[in-house]
Amino acid sequence: DSGVTQTPKHLITATGQRVTLRCSPRSGDLSVYWYQQSLDQGLQFLIQYYNGEERAKGNILERFSAQQFPDLHSELNLSSLELGDSALYFCASSEYRDRDEKLFFGSGTQLSVL
């Protein structure tokens, strides 16, 4: 158990809908990362937050947004869903220390858009 909690584990929804994925980082970790893993594109970095502020942005679509709350949990919002958004979405947390930072992943949310 990595200590990173993601909910829900599975999500089935229809095109055009909106969903929210939730992540609780490990106790003490200030940084949260979101990744998307699809079969044809591997692990793609979406966005990173550090202590409530956006730190880095990757290939995140405009239909997607995220935030990190004062208690450090994070939510990833996906709207106007398309079939191609079906993927495994990972949250990971790390304690931000230069050179010794390690990512610890949650178990992921499997999103299926029908």
Partner 1 sequence: AQKITQTQPGMFVQEKEAVTLDCTYDTSDQSYGLFWYKQPSSGEMIFLIYQGSYDEQNATEGRYSLNFQKARKSANLVISASQLGDSAMYFCAMRETYGQNFVFGPGTRLSVLP
Binding residues (CB under 8 A) for partner 1: these are: 2, 33, 35, 42-43, 45, 48, 55-56, 58, 88, 90, 92, 98-105, 107-108, 110
CA–CA distance, 17 with 39 (Å, rounded to integer)? 22
Show the tokens assigned to 44: 């793609």
Give the shortest CB-87-to-partner 1 separation in angstroms: 12
CA–CA distance, 55 with 114 (Å, rounded to integer)? 33
Give the shortest CB-13-to-partner 1 separation in angstroms: 19
Residue 84 has φ and ψ, to the nearest 5°, of -70, -10
Looking at the Cβ atoms of 62 and 98, the one nearer to partner 1 is: 98
Looking at the Cβ atoms of 45 and 86, the one nearer to partner 1 is: 45
Give the shortest CB-37-to-partner 1 separation in angstroms: 9
The answer to whether 49 and 67 have CB atoms below 8 angstroms apart is yes
